[in-house]
Amino acid sequence: MDSDVSSLTIIAKALKAQGVEYMFGIVGVPVIELANAAQIEGIKYVGMRNEQAAAYAAQAIGYITGRPAVCLTVSGPGVLHVLGGMANANENAWPLIVIGGSSEAHQEGMGGFQEYPQTSICKEFAKFSARPPSVEKIPFFVEKAVRYSIYGRPGSVYLDFPGDMLKENISSSIIQYPERVPDPPRPLAPLSSIDATLELLRNAQRPLVIVGKGAAYCRAEHEVRQLINSLNIPFLPTPMGKGVVPDDHPLCVAPARSRALQKADVVLLLGARLNWILHFGLPPRFDKDVKIIQVDICPEELNNNVRSAVSVHGDLKVFVNQVSNKDLLCLFSNPFIYQQLNTRISEKDATSSYPKINDWWEMLKNKCEDNKLTTQQLISKETIPINYYTAFHELTKVIPRDAFIISEGSNTMDIGRTMMNNYLARHRLDAGTFGTMGVGLGFAIACALWAKDNAPEKKIVCVEGDSAFGFSGMELETVCRYDLPITFVVLNNNGIFMGIDEQMYSASQGTEKSLSLPALALKPNARYEKVIEAFGGKGFFITKPSEIEPTMSQCLKSNQPCLINIMIDPVSGKKVQEFAWLTTEKSEAKL
């Protein structure tokens, strides 16, 4: 005898059938029962404190696993709060499914509770946005949402469910659940592209590989490492491309980033876009005659800003494997690459020996050493107040090689990228392509949940500026509620980018205080560690460099939520760079 099944159960079963394991959100009318139904089906529901943070957490799961998680939100304002997270997922090309409740369909146009044109608004922020026309069609639309989120260039999708649809029941006999969407296809690159790539590398005098987070997302770390070790070509990781090849690999030229970009004559671009992060691929940051080999899953991205010498639309992992398995002996006939096949670096000795080098490698190696020396000169265990370089130096002494590192902020993120090494793919998450502040706690929560289920001994470290922490600091309650062993570090310089000290703050007091404070200023010496203590976590306040390492070690060993609030010199900043990190000059943005 057929039994009735609720629309709530159908949604939950359809998601579970598609491999969805996590749901993040804030419940309310009309989605409270949907969260309960998801839990009944075995989906892990995590209640957050802000919809934006929920979206950040869900998309981080998508990046780490390659399969989407769900962000669940209420109607109207709840959906609007998620739009920033959807945009961030799209810009980073990470899969995300947003499910929004909406006002009852029969009240549409009447001014119903939190009525808003959610499906049409979300089309601007999603690859796919739809409202199933009937309860029977829900599994079809869930399958389609998952497929859109991971196929082609990954991104966010939106499914809308009116309150009255969420109350329906229908016969279980008419419901059909599609099979789980298979992983995206991995097409072969044309052989002509492989030959053209090898030809360019064969004739290059100053070759460079740029490794982007696309290489991390598509799980190409083994193939990319094999390629770099085989060809002995210097490589440069983008911020979230760090760890695809370990940062301490002898061919990593991250300390000489500007010089490598400016002087390379052939660039193999693996999973990175020529956007602002790479200065659009234009002079003077790049050589005007540089030849780009571009590999991207998104065809519209090919030849964007710069005409590529070789454009490959396809799967990066497959492409790199094709190049690696081509007859590589031909490359070593060129004296400008590396002369002997037996100079290949193995994974075993990659951190202990350098390859045979030429003038190009000698130039980059010397620049790396010079910049490392400059950084070392900025580190001091005696200087108070503490500067960024000293703080990071002390922190990294005890951060394990396999730790997830989440970072956001201005100086905190930029300096941290150079000071905190990564050794595994998908183990650094930061503000990303969209430069979004507020992602840190959501990302950290996602990493901790994944680690809890898959690698319980793995440590999660989230390093934030005080301004960045303020965007989603209330998620500390979420962290403590679920007892997630995350170590948070707030590098507190009393401001956005730079702040003011107590003396300047006191001088600004008076009836016009709020108007006389600098726009970048935040409250000096704010005790952010007290926030986590309010929820049962451990907080630490640090003003001396010598306190950092033992406190960090204590937190990592404690296996509980901790926050270290480190006071940083309000005017501490980055060392002078050869080029500004952000390209803004009009003359540089011309094709």
Summarize pLDDT for 471-505 with one digit per residue, the tens.
Answer: 999 999 999 999 999 999 999 999 998 888 888 88
- So what's the pLDDT on residue 381? 78
- So what's the pLDDT on residue 579? 60
Q: Into how many domains does the chain fold? A: 3
Q: Which of 385, 380, 384, 220 has its CA nearest to residue 316?
A: 220
Question: Which of 112, 140, 174 lies at the terminal end of a domain, its last residue?
Answer: 174
Q: Which of 303, 335, 206 has its CA nearest to residue 259?
A: 206
Q: How far apart are CA 201 and CA 266, in angstroms?
A: 7
CATH number of the domain where residue 423 is located: 3.40.50.970
Q: Do 170 and 289 fall within a single domain?
A: no
* pLDDT tens column, 419-453: 999 999 999 999 999 999 999 999 999 999 999 99
Strand order of the β-sheet with 291-296 is 235-237, 207-211, 266-270, 291-296, 310-313
Q: How far apart are CA 43 and CA 71, in angstroms?
A: 12
Confidence class for position 346, pLDDT limits 50, 70, 90: very low
Its domain, for residue 569, covers 381-579
Share the mean pLDDT of the chain. 90
Among 213-227, 246-260, 320-334, the least confident range: 320-334
**Residue 321 is assigned to a structural domain of this protein:** yes
**Residue 363 is assigned to a structural domain of this protein:** no
**Residue 79 is assigned to a structural domain of this protein:** yes
Confidence class for position 517, pLDDT limits 50, 70, 90: confident
- For 359, counting Cβ atoms within 10 Å of its Cβ (0-12 exposed, 13-18 middle, 19+ buried), the class is exposed
Confidence class for position 510, pLDDT limits 50, 70, 90: low
Q: How far apart are CA 560 and CA 488, in angstroms?
A: 11
* pLDDT tens column, 165-202: 999 999 999 999 999 999 999 989 999 999 999 999 99
Q: Do 321 and 420 fall within a single domain?
A: no
Q: Do 170 and 206 fall within a single domain?
A: no
Backbone angles phi, psi at 529, to 5 degrees: -65, -20
In three-state secondary structure terms, 388 is helix
**Residue 327 is assigned to a structural domain of this protein:** yes
Q: Do 418 and 325 fall within a single domain?
A: no
**Residue 585 is assigned to a structural domain of this protein:** no
- So what's the pLDDT on residue 459? 98
Give the tokens for residue 118: 């959610």
Give the tokens for residue 108: 């549409």
Q: Which residue has the higher pLDDT, 528 or 521?
A: 528
Residue 249 above 80 pLDDT?
yes
Helix, strand, coil percentages for the chain (3-state, nearest 5) = 40, 15, 40
Q: Do 160 and 234 fall within a single domain?
A: no
Q: Pairing relation of β-strands 128-130 and 498-499?
A: unpaired
- So what's the pLDDT on residue 84? 96
Confidence class for position 339, pLDDT limits 50, 70, 90: very low
Residue 587 above 60 pLDDT?
no
Give the tokens for residue 134: 């009937």
Per the DSSP assignment, residues forming a β-bridge with 460 are 404, 486
Give the containing element (helix H, strand E) for 79.
helix 77-92
Q: Which residue has the higher pLDDT, 302 or 348?
A: 302
Q: Do 456 and 532 fall within a single domain?
A: yes
CA 192 to chain centre: 33
Percent above pLDDT 70 for the chain: 91
- So what's the pLDDT on residue 519? 87
**Residue 371 is assigned to a structural domain of this protein:** no
CA 152 to chain centre: 19
Q: How far apart are CA 361 and CA 350, in angstroms?
A: 16
DSSP 8-class letter at 343: G
CATH number of the domain where residue 318 is located: 3.40.50.1220
Let me know the angle formed at the C-alpha of 323 by 321 and 325, rounded to the nearest 5 degrees: 65
Q: Do 311 and 397 fall within a single domain?
A: no
**Residue 370 is assigned to a structural domain of this protein:** no
Q: Do 111 and 204 fall within a single domain?
A: no
Q: Do 444 and 565 fall within a single domain?
A: yes
Per-residue pLDDT, averaged over 12-23, amounts to 98
Q: Do 200 and 282 fall within a single domain?
A: yes
Question: Which of 174, 208, 242 lies at the terminal end of a domain, its last residue?
Answer: 174
Per the DSSP assignment, residues forming a β-bridge with 72 are 25, 99
**Residue 523 is assigned to a structural domain of this protein:** yes
Return the amino acid letter for 495. G
Q: How far apart are CA 275 and CA 279, in angstroms?
A: 6
Q: Do 389 and 527 fall within a single domain?
A: yes
Q: Do 394 and 301 fall within a single domain?
A: no
Q: Are 324 and 226 in contact (CB under 8 A)?
A: yes
Question: Which of 283, 315, 341 lies at the terminal end of a domain, its last residue?
Answer: 341
Place of tokens 């780009």: 292
* pLDDT tens column, 68-103: 999 999 999 999 999 999 999 999 999 999 999 998
Confidence class for position 109, pLDDT limits 50, 70, 90: confident
Per-residue pLDDT, averaged over 409-425, amounts to 95
